[in-house]
Amino acid sequence: MFKNVKKSVTRTIASAMMLILLLSVATTGFAIVTLASSLNDAEAVNVAGSMRMQSYRLAHDIQSESVDYASHINLFEGSIYSPSMRALQHWSVPKDITKDYYRLILRWHELKLVLESQDRAQYLVLVAGFVQQIDEFVFKLQNYSEQKLINLAWIGGLGLGGILCLSLFVVHFVRIEVVRPLRALVFASEQIKNRSFEVTLNVSSDNEMGILTRTFNRMAMDLGKLYRGLEQAVDEKTRKLQHANQSLQVLYDSSQQLTASRISQENFQAILQHIASLEGIRAVMLEIDQIGESNWILTEGEQCHYGCDSECHRKTLTLDGEHLGYLHWKAGLPCPNEALIDNFVQILSRAVYYNRAQRQAEQLLLMEERATIARELHDSLAQALSYLKIQVTLLKRNVKSIPDERAIEQTNQVITELDTGLSAAYTQLRELLTTFRLTIKEGSFAQALQEMVSTLEEQTPAEILLKNELSSTALDAHQQVHLLLLVREATINAIKHAQARYIEIQCLESDGKITVTVTDDGIGFEQQDEKLNHYGMSIMQERATRLHGKLSIDASKNHGCIVRLEFQHSKEVNIGNV
């Protein structure tokens, strides 16, 4: 039944389209054939028309005894036997036109004999009749060409009319049998798109569109049932995904606390707040083991204490086999995810472990700085005091022979040197103490550097220009300290030894490479100068080595000095190197 019904629409449309195609092919084929056959007509008419002019020209040549007489005969001969004229012998050309063409050829051969004879003047009498014959022939060719165009117009008009009628029939049929039902289906589809599945289409025919309409009605009904079931499933999945998303967000926010440069109580408290925000968690307490001290207790939410009731739970914090503390929480309904709690236990374990490691690093840092202070005191103040000790010994020996005037003079000289040495030692000690007290308490490297430069400007009439492009976030703490001390040492050298009037400090960064330069216009010195080590160059070189950088000094007599430090920035440098 379905196959028979389906053919009722498709066969009608297919038959109409086939008729349209046949009419189009027939009309187009006739037009192509007619136009192809008409291509020679215009040339034939033109050649035949030129033969009249050539006939009169031969008569004129006879009268004027033209030297081109023979060539004009040959030219007429070529025209009458031209390809366009010979094409008139084709079977598609009317018989009367072909016969007239043969008569023209015969008449031409008769006239040609007259033209080639001694009695050429007779051609003047015969030419008028020959031209009349050519005119009749041209007129028939013209009528024949026009008739073909008229036939083409009629056939084309009839073909186009038939195609137009069939097209109108197809459009009307498709509009009634296809478009109207499809519009109803589209409207119903829009309703289904808007989640309205209560759709019922009227079935007005038994063809394939009617079958499609009935199928669509059943589909809409089934879709409504499926959609309602899917909505329930999606709501359930959405709730689970929201819960999972909340858990992931809380885990991410808690993990962010581990990225802090210094893990403090605020970071632990923030992690506990994230845990307390989980569904089913009513209270949470963190107990951190402290070696030699009472445990560190942090709480969030309701009161939670040891062994409160069956709702309280506890997990141990461990990392690499080291016991770090406990996590206590009080649970309610719905029960919290056990795997999520385990993740928080791992996060807190790492946080406690990193906190301990940071405190140990700070202790190592303090010990290393103390060792540095000891080394610098030994290399500077201890040597000066040793020198004073030797001078005091010499003074004691000379005092025993005071009556000697020469001894008195030597004693005064020793006392003078002793006084000079003591003054130098005191100044050096004061500078070292100032250096050791230097910190970044201002809050950032730029502020600390500016504060240091301001302090140095008060100690010298020289102009100090500072250009800094480094930020605290780009430098580790030990890098900031070493840079400050190195810049201070180089600037003090320019103030104290170089007698500079202009000092420029530049701190630049490009592609991870940090360059620090201290330039002055002072008296300078020779590179092999023995006093080079007295300017604190060894201390600056040691700081450059700890920064994994290269320190260079460009100086010459009376041409100033340039101290340049270059190193590749890396945040993985061990903090214990400070």
Q: Exposure pattern of 537-558 as b/e (b: 16+ CB <10 Å)?
A: bebbebbbebbebebebebeee
- The mean pLDDT value of the chain amounts to 75
Tens digit of pLDDT for each residue in 133-178? Answer: 888 888 888 888 778 788 888 888 888 888 888 888 888 877 777 7
Tens digit of pLDDT for each residue in 218-248? Answer: 887 788 788 788 888 888 888 777 777 777 7
321/470 same-domain check: no
How many residues are there in the chain? 578
Considering 177-181, 460-464, 574-578, the range whose residues carry the highest mean pLDDT is 460-464
Task: For tokens 């989640």, name the residue.
Answer: 195
What's the pLDDT score for residue 505?
92
What CATH number is associated with residue 103?
A: 1.20.120.960
Q: Among 292, 327, 356, which residue terminates a domain? A: 356
What's the pLDDT score for residue 354?
76
Would 432 be classed as within a structural domain? no
pLDDT band of 404, cuts 50, 70, 90: low
Would 203 be classed as within a structural domain? no
Task: For tokens 């739970």, name the residue.
Answer: 313
Which range, of 210-214, 300-304, 366-370, averages the lowest pLDDT? Answer: 366-370
What's the pLDDT score for residue 359?
60
| DSSP 3-state of 479 | helix
Q: Of residues 1 and 246, which shows the higher confidence score?
A: 246
Terminal-residue alpha carbon distance, the chain: 95
Would 226 be classed as within a structural domain? no
What's the pLDDT score for residue 515?
92
* Distant-in-sequence, close-in-space partners of 269: CB < 8 Å, separation ≥ 6: 298, 300
Tens digit of pLDDT for each residue in 457-500? Answer: 888 888 889 888 876 545 666 777 788 888 888 888 888 887 88
Helix (H) or strand (E) holding 450: helix 445-457
43/168 same-domain check: yes
Structure token digits, residue 187? 């409207």
318/455 same-domain check: no
Would 509 be classed as within a structural domain? yes
Backbone angles phi, psi at 550, to 5 degrees: -120, 125
Three-class SS of 492-549 = HHHHHCCCCCEEEEEEEEECCEEEEEEEECCCCCCCCCHHHHHHCHHHHHHHHHHCCC
What CATH number is associated with residue 276?
A: 3.30.450.40
Tens digit of pLDDT for each residue in 308-359? Answer: 555 688 888 888 778 888 888 887 777 777 777 888 788 888 887 777 776 6
What's the pLDDT score for residue 202?
74
pLDDT band of 519, cuts 50, 70, 90: very high
- Cβ pair 257, 267 in contact under 8 A: yes
Would 392 be classed as within a structural domain? no
Tens digit of pLDDT for each residue in 84-134? Answer: 788 777 787 888 888 888 888 888 888 888 888 888 888 888 888 888 888
What's the pLDDT score for residue 441?
47
40/170 same-domain check: yes
| DSSP 3-state of 208 | helix
Longest C-alpha distance within the chain, in Å? Answer: 178
6/115 same-domain check: yes
What CATH number is associated with residue 555?
A: 3.30.565.10
What's the pLDDT score for residue 444?
59
Would 367 be classed as within a structural domain? no
271/167 same-domain check: no
**Mean pLDDT score, 167-194:** 79
Count Cβ atoms within 10 A of the Cβ of residue 417 and give its class: 0-12 exposed, 13-18 middle, 19 or more buried: middle
**Mean pLDDT score, 200-206:** 72
pLDDT band of 442, cuts 50, 70, 90: very low
Tens digit of pLDDT for each residue in 274-296? Answer: 777 777 787 888 888 765 445 66
269/172 same-domain check: no
544/451 same-domain check: yes
pLDDT band of 535, cuts 50, 70, 90: low
Would 236 be classed as within a structural domain? no
**Mean pLDDT score, 187-202:** 76
18/93 same-domain check: yes
145/256 same-domain check: no
Structure token digits, residue 281? 């968690």
Model pTM above 0.75: no
The pLDDT of residue 517 is above 90:
yes
Q: Which of 265, 270, 266, 305 is nearest to 285 (CA)?
A: 305
Q: Among 153, 168, 184, which residue terminates a domain? A: 184
pLDDT band of 518, cuts 50, 70, 90: very high
Question: How many domains does the chain divide into?
Answer: 3
31/120 same-domain check: yes
Calculate the alpha carbon distances from 267 to 77, 261, 273, 324 in Å.
Answer: 116, 11, 10, 16
Q: Among 303, 337, 356, which residue terminates a domain? A: 356
Would 422 be classed as within a structural domain? no
* Distant-in-sequence, close-in-space partners of 330: CB < 8 Å, separation ≥ 6: 281, 282, 283, 284, 301, 302, 304, 308, 311, 312, 313
**Mean pLDDT score, 552-559:** 83
Count Cβ atoms within 10 A of the Cβ of residue 199 and give its class: 0-12 exposed, 13-18 middle, 19 or more buried: buried
- Domain containing 320 equals 245-356
- Cβ pair 304, 330 in contact under 8 A: yes
